[in-house]
Structure 1
């Protein structure tokens, strides 16, 4: 995020590079940077003649170079944006020749999503000298809640830890999806609001009481009644609560619990740092550790591996996922 801010500030300050090669697994920032360049470099009246949008599936590298070598008409720059450039992965190295001596009046933007070029080859080395290479890396799940807070803060919104965790568990690490939901909330809620689980439930449709976050907490507390209320809800709403997601999240939880048992320093600050979790959730791990000794945690991890396979249909095609989840809970609690 800091790298993106620096790149944007450079452009705002007139430090414009002839090539921006935007690559990586996370498309959110690739789109953000590309859209910023598209709306910033040229004045609106200059774009008709000087801004070109190309798509990787429709062009060759030679076509891109041909467009990039044109001169702007009545403007300081022309902007050439290549979207879905990953479709040119087999021939993208041909761009190295142009990158060695790029047209100084062209701003060429390459959106190379979900992939990255080989850093050992000529194109990458040349781009680092003459342009900007930005790699947009996928965030780990434990980093996304902090990203949500950082996105909301300058917009004068806050979010509770539980609400942020609900979004992560429901939407995963897809930053574009999460941002879309946050933008909807910002339209509905006034500035200065702290987004709560109730806001998430009312406006996005994620249940604040029947979700994987609450299931994990109930298991850690061995609250059998609450566990099976949540599991029954999941069984009635399987599309919104796929078993493969539940098993994956529980596997991560018990793996972290195994790590917790091995810590010498179990102070809240040390636990939060070691497990890479928000301090808000530390007590949840402390309580779960009392109810699940290390030997039991190891057994649960093995059980979750078994049910991960079953949940994907291996050896249990005829068994409803709701029944599998109930069996899983019984195995975990026994």
Structure 2
């Protein structure tokens, strides 16, 4: 079952006795748990109906005892359990001893007044473990992974719509390019932009550029985009802005090199018919970053990218050994690249 199907079932009153939430997208995971709270627990009942445990500190058998205990003054309770290693691979180095058999036994006849929600901030579960198989059989396991490039754009556009804003073409892309791919950050920036525009106001790329500051990494994305489109003046302007922000030239060169390396890797893998999600997994990147790198990769030949990386390697050596002025070295690199 996916997250949308699980949410639909919850709205219809079909509540599973056990949920196992896992993945790296913490913001979406928090949205789901908040939704679950709103649907299952009345606001005035929350002081008595919400219980939190951390398996790094509490034995699993204590959590099971809590689930078996009849709730006080409320008809149902939600028990949120932060997991350390019960559901994942690797050894638990903690001092807490977990009796997994207690949960396995509980799942045979779970209490109707308790809902267990295990939260695992890990991309993968250990499918070999009996406890994982049992939860997937008796409860609902939901994966929360980074969205694909197009899905992330749709999410941002929906957030703008929910905030009462109208966006023009390119505004959502500009926001992601400036703010990055973290949903928590994007959500906060959307709220800020909608507050600026007012109810029914319009957000265009110019407003996003004016109000949403770019991180150093995001500036490098844009700098390379300018290089790829032979917009040398704009690329140099970003470089000089980074210098004003007291960024070290060697760090800037390193980030430029990293991005060109990603572009080459994406180009190579795409040439082997890897999908965007497969490339993201292979390179441990967000799918949207792969999407941008893929678009940039189409503007370079593989041999050209290898030559650029070789030049950056030589530039790094010259800057670190004092054979080349750092600022001048990057300026010359950008000028040669823009020809």
TM-score if structure 1 supplies the norm length? Answer: 0.73
Q: Structure 2 matches for 1:4-23, cutoff 5 A? A: 4-23=3-22
Query: How far, CA to CA, are the matches of 2:130 and 2:266 in structure 1?
Result: 42
The aligned residue for residue 320 of structure 2 is 316
Task: Return 5+ residue gaps in structure 1 as ranges.
Answer: 264-274
1: distance between equivalents of 2:314 and 2:174? 25
Of 188, 194, 197, 1:186 maps to 194
2-structure distance, mates of 1:131, 1:240: 51
Does the 8 A contact of 2:319 with 2:325 survive in 1?
no
Query: Hey, what does 1:271 align to over in structure 2?
Result: none
The number of equivalent residue pairs is 309
Match in the other structure for 1:218: 226
Residue 62 of structure 2 corresponds to: 63
Q: CA 1:52–1:240 in 2, change beyond 3 Å: closer, same or farther?
A: farther
Q: CA deviation at 1:140?
A: 4.6
* Contact 1:82-1:109 at 8 Å conserved across structures: yes
Alignment of 1:192-203 (within 5 A): 192-203=200-211
Structure 1 residues 215 and 148: CA distance shift in structure 2, 3 A: same
Superposed CA RMSD:
4.2
Q: Is residue 168–residue 202 contact of structure 2 (8 Å, CA) maintained in 1?
A: yes
Which whole-Å deviations, capped at 9, do the CAs of 1:11-66 have from their partners, x for residues lacking one?
A: 12211111111101111111111122233312233233332122343322122112
Q: Does 1:37 align with 2:36?
A: yes
Asked whether the 8 Å contact 2:177–2:222 carries over to 1, the reply is no
The CA distance in 2 between the partners of 1:195 and 1:10, in whole Å, is 35
1:300 aligned partner: 305
Structure 2 counterpart of 1:54: 53
Does structure 1 residue 148 correspond to structure 2 residue 153? Answer: no
Gap regions ≥5 residues in structure 2? 274-288
- The SS at the match of 1:57 is coil
Q: Could you report, residue by residue, the CA deviation over 1:137-181 in whole angstroms, capped at 9, with x for unpaired residues? A: 123556533432243344443445543333333443222222222
Distance in 2 separating the partners of 1:7 and 1:142 = 22
Partner Cα distance (2:336, 2:27) in 1: 40
Deviation by residue 1:249-298 (Cα, 9 ceiling, x = unmatched):
444556667899999xxxxxxxxxxx9869xx99x879x84xx5x3xx52
Determine if contact 2:127/2:133 at 8 Å carries over to the other structure. yes
* 1:332 is the counterpart of 2:332: no
Correspondence for 1:86 among 84, 87, 97 = 84
Question: Under a length normalisation based on structure 2, what TM-score does the superposition of the two structures give?
Answer: 0.72
Q: How many angstroms apart in 2 are the aligned matches of 1:175 and 1:35?
A: 16
| SS of residue in 1 equivalent to 2:137 | helix
The answer as to whether partners of 2:17 and 2:139 remain within 8 angstroms in 1 is: yes
What's the secondary structure of 1:86's corresponding residue? Answer: coil
Q: Distance in 1 between matches of 2:149 and 2:326?
A: 25
